[in-house]
Amino acid sequence: MRRFCRFGLVLMPLLALAAGAAIGLHPALAASFDGSWSVVVITENGTCDRAYRYPVRVVNGEIRYEGEAGIAISGRVDGSGKLSATISRGEQSASGTGRLTRTAGSGTWSGKSKTSACSGRWEAERREG
């Protein structure tokens, strides 16, 4: 009986991870991206401002904006660091994709407003806290 209990104690976490992987979740891995990040969005095409910087926090793989009101940022980071996010303010919106590592990230974005379309790249770095 003891041997079965020890085997069960070892097997249960592995089964939980395998079940999560089967449906695309990696809780332990996604949590490794949790924390505060500073994201700079750089315009390479279009008439948008040259760059914007946003403070964000990742909590259980969910991207949340930590800045002033009027801006909305939402998105997800999966267990491998792949992410997709949306930034909006009024009638302006932009979508981005890319990848995070434990300390940094990068990707591309594109967006539009009533009067223009812009695109470029983004870079992120992890902050303490």
The two tokens of residue 125 are: 């770095």
Residue carrying structure tokens 């990040």: 37
Question: What pLDDT score was predicted for residue 30?
Answer: 55
Averaged pLDDT of the chain: 82
pLDDT over 80 at 61, yes or no: yes
Q: Which domains does the chain have, with CATH numbers?
A: 25-127 (2.40.128.120)
In angstroms, rounded to a whole number, what is the distance separating the alpha carbons of residues 10 and 105? 34
Question: What pLDDT score was predicted for residue 115?
Answer: 87
The two tokens of residue 84 are: 């997709």
In angstroms, rounded to a whole number, what is the distance separating the alpha carbons of residues 16 and 21? 9
Assign 13 a pLDDT band (cuts: 50, 70, 90): very low
The maximal CA–CA distance of the chain, rounded, in angstroms, is: 71
Question: What pLDDT score was predicted for residue 2?
Answer: 44
Assign 4 a pLDDT band (cuts: 50, 70, 90): very low
Assign 43 a pLDDT band (cuts: 50, 70, 90): very high
Question: What pLDDT score was predicted for residue 123?
Answer: 98
Question: What pLDDT score was predicted for residue 93?
Answer: 93
Question: What pLDDT score was predicted for residue 103?
Answer: 95
